[in-house]
């Protein structure tokens, strides 16, 4: 069973429906025991970083995220769910993240012809990983104004929108995307299937 963490904010139903379409059982839940029993866990997020990280902590779901990371089972962060895994964010102030991934989330600078928020389809440069096949290239769907712009060894996909930013990361049993795979058509569904088939534990598993 795939547990989709419900902390009061996030694109819950669309993620649940995407996994259901693929034939996987997915449950939206705020029950720590159900999350602990799940084979895979999804951390979604929509809106402002401050609101999401605050709700995650207020509901006690931060502990479930950390226990999932420690357990070795696969964890997928989506959009602000990915951003919260970083060290912090500068959206409307300075806020501390979970510190699981390297980097800080900052506002995209925009530029001539580049509207903020960055909304719509964009291509990403990928490398072989749990989500992406060797030699694959995809257009995926983004909705965001902030992103981590510091690339690291954990970066598995990059998008350029005025500046390069981290589109996806992978570390041990964690993968996360700034884009929305559940809204990215056939390519996004393939990524979700690859995640659902992943055993976790380490990047090479």
Q: Which residues are catalytic?
A: 79, 180, 182
Residue 26 near residue 15, CB atoms below 8 Å: yes
Q: Which CA distances in Å does 198 have to 27, 158, 185?
A: 18, 22, 20
Alpha-carbon distance of 182 to 42, in angstroms, equals: 12
Pairing of strands 174-177, 88-89: unpaired
Q: Tokens for 77?
A: 């962060």
Alpha-carbon distance of 160 to 122, in angstroms, equals: 8
Pairing of strands 155-161, 95-96: unpaired
């Amino acid at each position: 069973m795939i547990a989709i963490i419900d902390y009061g904010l996030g694109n819950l139903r669309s993620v649940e429906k995407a996994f259901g379409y693929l034939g996987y059982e997915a449950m939206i839940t705020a029950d720590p025991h159900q999350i602990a029993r799940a084979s895979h866990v999804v951390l979604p997020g929509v809106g402002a970083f401050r609101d999401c990280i605050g709700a995650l902590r207020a509901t006690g779901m931060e502990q479930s995220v950390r226990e999932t990371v420690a357990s070795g089972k696969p964890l997928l962060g989506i959009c602000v769910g990915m951003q919260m895994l970083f060290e912090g964010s500068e959206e409307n102030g300075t806020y501390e993240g979970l510190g699981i991934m390297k980097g800080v989330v900052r506002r995209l600078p925009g530029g001539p012809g580049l509207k903020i928020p960055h909304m719509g389809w964009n291509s990403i440069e990928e490398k072989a990983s749990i989500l992406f096949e060797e030699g694959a290239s995809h257009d995926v769907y983004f909705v965001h104004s902030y992103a981590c712009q510091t690339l690291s060894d954990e970066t598995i996909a990059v998008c350029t929108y005025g500046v390069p930013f981290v589109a996806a990361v992978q570390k041990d049993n964690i993968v996360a995307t700034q884009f929305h795979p559940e809204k990215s058509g056939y390519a996004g569904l393939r990524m979700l299937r690859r995640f659902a088939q992943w055993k976790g534990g380490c990047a090479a598993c």
